[in-house]
A and B are shown apart, each in its own frame.
Chain A
C-alpha cells in the first residue's frame, strides 16, 4: 500500500534560517503529492502540491519538487519566520484513489 515517511521532529530553527523537511514516499503508479500545514488549534491547510514528476509546488516562500527517481518531495524555505511555526504534513494520493495518506507530521518552531 501507499506510505509516507517524514523527517521526525520537533525541528527548532532561528528566524531567517534555511529549512528542509524531508519526505519520501512509497506508492504504485503516479501519485499526487501534497504538503499541508496545521497551525495551533486549527485544521489543516494546503500549502502546496505537485501532480507529476519534476513538478515544483510553491507557496508563501515554500517549495517542494516531485522527484520520482528518489521518491521524494522535500519541503524547503530559504528564510523562515516566526509565523511559520506549525506542524507540517507530507501526503500523497494515488491516481484514482480517494484516500489521502499522511506522514506523521513534523513540528517546526522558529525562535526570534
Chain B
C-alpha cells in the first residue's frame, strides 16, 4: 500500500544536539511538506518542496533545515538553533501543489528535548 513513513516515532534530544527526522513516501508525489504541531496552535508549515532539489521556507523555518535529493525522501533536521523544538512533527505529500489536491500525512514524529 502506498503511503508516508515517518521515523522515528519518538525521539529524545539533549539541548545543543541536531536531530534528523525521516520522511519517505511511495506515492510518487511531487510535493512534500513538513508541519509542526503544538497544543492549541494547530499546524504550522516549516518547509515545503515542489520538486526534487528545490524547497522553500514556510512560516516557521528558523532553526530547521531540509533536503530533497530524491523524489521519495524529504528529511527534516532540527538544529540546535531551534529554541523550542519539543513538538509533534508531521510530514505530508501531495501529487503537486495545486489547490484542490489533498495532502496525505504520515503518522508523525514526537520530539522531546531533555
A interface list, Cβ under 8 A from B = 31-32, 34, 36, 41-46, 49, 51, 89, 93-100, 102-105
Contact = CB atoms under 8 A, between A and B. Distances in A.
Nearest to A98: B97
Nearest to B9: A41
B10 to A, nearest CB: 10
Interface in B83-114: 90, 92, 97-108
27 contacts: A32-B99, A34-B102, A42-B108, A43-B105, A43-B107, A44-B43, A44-B90, A44-B103, A44-B105, A46-B102, A46-B103, A51-B100, A89-B43, A93-B99, A95-B99, A96-B97, A97-B99, A98-B31, A98-B48, A98-B50, A99-B48, A99-B58, A102-B35, A102-B42, A104-B40, A105-B40, A105-B42
B42 A103 contact: yes
A72 to B, nearest CB: 18
A43 B48 contact: no
Nearest to B108: A43
Interface of B: 4, 6, 31, 33, 35, 40-45, 48, 50, 58, 90, 92, 97-108
A24 to B, nearest CB: 14
Nearest to B48: A98
A95 B45 CA distance: 18
Nearest to A101: B45
A32 B33 CA distance: 18
A34 B42 CA distance: 14
A73 to B, nearest CB: 14
B24 to A, nearest CB: 14
B98 A45 contact: no
A98 B35 CA distance: 13
Given A96-B99, A98-B48, A104 B108 contact: no
A42 B99 contact: no
Nearest to A51: B100
B45 to A, nearest CB: 6
Given A93-B99, A105-B42, 16 more contacts: A34-B102, A36-B105, A42-B107, A43-B106, A43-B107, A44-B43, A46-B103, A51-B100, A93-B100, A95-B98, A96-B97, A96-B99, A98-B50, A99-B48, A100-B33, A102-B44
